[in-house]
Structure 1
């Protein structure tokens, strides 16, 4: 079993897990998944173990791997984790972040507001996550970046649904500009307050996003 085959299996299965290609609670049959991916079982099993360790699949001893549940409580908990991480990140970035990089980040956030209407949802979510990841990177803590990336992957399905609402998208992207501006000015406390309000607003939409998401998953399964 080569490392490249495991990575290919991991990348493919990760996209499927993040996007709920399987129904919540559905058991993943290794043979079926292997045939779908055109790969042997060994790299698929290794990829499944890795995804389970990241919270993107569930493993039950003696029963196998299952698609994770899509629950409001988990999404809200992940937003709470993000709040802790990102409030700390913007405070640190305001103290020690590179001034030019922070200025560039603010300019990029402002340009995204202007361009948002012409972008598809996949591009919007990628740019949204890139903004938060860059703030964490500028704070200088690689572990925060790693944990943030995992949390973002686990809420991405719901985030995509919520960002399909134009008013919600505009509000979120406008928040980014205000947060970046506060960090660039060196006002870490204002930036943290803005970040917590921004994430709190997103968390408040979790229930609607989960309900819409479940409806889409099961409609897709029937189609």
Structure 2
């Protein structure tokens, strides 16, 4: 195993669903910090590690460019995106618009099985918190995002879900950059309960407000921590 393979953890793939699988592997490498912000993603190196041609790697990179994880520089290739605090503000603002619209639609059309699904996902968040050190931060972040994806999916609007899916990975990436939102992982689960309670009660105004509060708190914490990192970088510390 060469040095490049040891660093990224990539290994050869079969051909079925190749582009999506390559995209998933690169995405996970980015989110977990194996590929750092600003680092070049070499098509030839990744292709060699995965035992494939450069074509599916290039297609996967284009997918990740559209999802906000990679950027492309002409004649230089693809690079891991360097997120700024201002970019994250915009991202969370978009999330608030999408999820608020989904919540309103969900309550007006009737939640159906969504309440049970969301309650089960909160239970999953508690289960992950109870696992303690054996559960990594990425597992917690992905479980958190799954709660919100279930909410958007239950609205029945595929356009809202498509946009949510487009920015979900970027959101996970932003949280992984700063490490974590809460010192106690149980807080991640607890912050979703007011949203579920308002949905269960069928109170549209309360549900949208609970959702807004939840997202804005996360937005404030993430952008503040990233600004701190930006200031440390500017000072060279």
User: Could you say which TM-score interval applies, normalised by the shorter chain?
Assistant: 0.7 to 0.9
Tell me if the contact between 2:153 and 2:161 (Cα under 8 Å) persists in the aligned partners: yes
Tell me if the contact between 2:149 and 2:161 (Cα under 8 Å) persists in the aligned partners: yes
Name 2:170's counterpart in structure 1.
Answer: 154
How far apart, CA to CA, are the structure 1 residues paired with 2:29 and 2:127? 31
Residue in structure 2 matching 1:98, options 93, 111, 119:
111
Question: Is 1:52 aligned with 2:62?
Answer: no
Name 1:199's counterpart in structure 2.
Answer: 215
Tell me if the contact between 2:30 and 2:36 (Cα under 8 Å) persists in the aligned partners: no
Equivalenced residue count is 212
CA-to-partner distance for each residue in 1:91-141, whole Å, 9 max, x for gaps?
111221334431442354257447623251333223211111111111111
Tell me which moved more, 131-140 or 6-15.
6-15
CA-to-partner distance for each residue in 1:52-80, whole Å, 9 max, x for gaps?
12222101223221111122111221111
Tell me if the contact between 2:117 and 2:150 (Cα under 8 Å) persists in the aligned partners: no
Question: Is 1:165 aligned with 2:183?
Answer: yes
Note closer, same or farther for the CA distance 1:85–1:19 as it changes in structure 2 (3 Å cut): same
Residue in structure 2 matching 1:122, options 138, 142, 146:
138
Note closer, same or farther for the CA distance 1:107–1:53 as it changes in structure 2 (3 Å cut): closer
Which ranges of structure 1 fall in alignment gaps of 5 or more residues?
215-223
Residue in structure 2 matching 1:43, options 56, 59, 69:
56
Q: Taking structure 1 as the reference length, what is the TM-score of the superposition?
A: 0.82
Tell me if the contact between 1:59 and 1:65 (Cα under 8 Å) persists in the aligned partners: yes
Report the CA distance between 1:198 and its aligned residue: 0.6
CA-to-partner distance for each residue in 1:24-81, whole Å, 9 max, x for gaps?
2222222222223232212111211222122221012232211111221112211111
How far apart, CA to CA, are the structure 1 residues paired with 2:124 and 2:57? 41
Tell me if the contact between 2:149 and 2:164 (Cα under 8 Å) persists in the aligned partners: yes
How far apart, CA to CA, are the structure 1 residues paired with 2:193 and 2:123? 6
Q: Secondary structure at the match of 2:180?
A: helix
Name 2:44's counterpart in structure 1.
Answer: 31
Tell me if the contact between 2:92 and 2:219 (Cα under 8 Å) persists in the aligned partners: yes
Question: Is 1:6 aligned with 2:19?
Answer: yes
Residue in structure 2 matching 1:187, options 200, 203, 216:
203
Q: Taking structure 2 as the reference length, what is the TM-score of the superposition?
A: 0.77
Name 1:68's counterpart in structure 2.
Answer: 81
More helix by share: 1
Report the CA distance between 1:165 and its aligned residue: 1.7
Tell me which moved more, 174-183 or 107-116.
107-116
Q: Secondary structure at the match of 2:52?
A: coil
Tell me which moved more, 105-114 or 27-36.
105-114
How far apart, CA to CA, are the structure 2 residues paired with 1:174 and 1:78? 23
How far apart, CA to CA, are the structure 1 residues paired with 2:119 and 2:24? 31
Name 1:220's counterpart in structure 2.
Answer: none
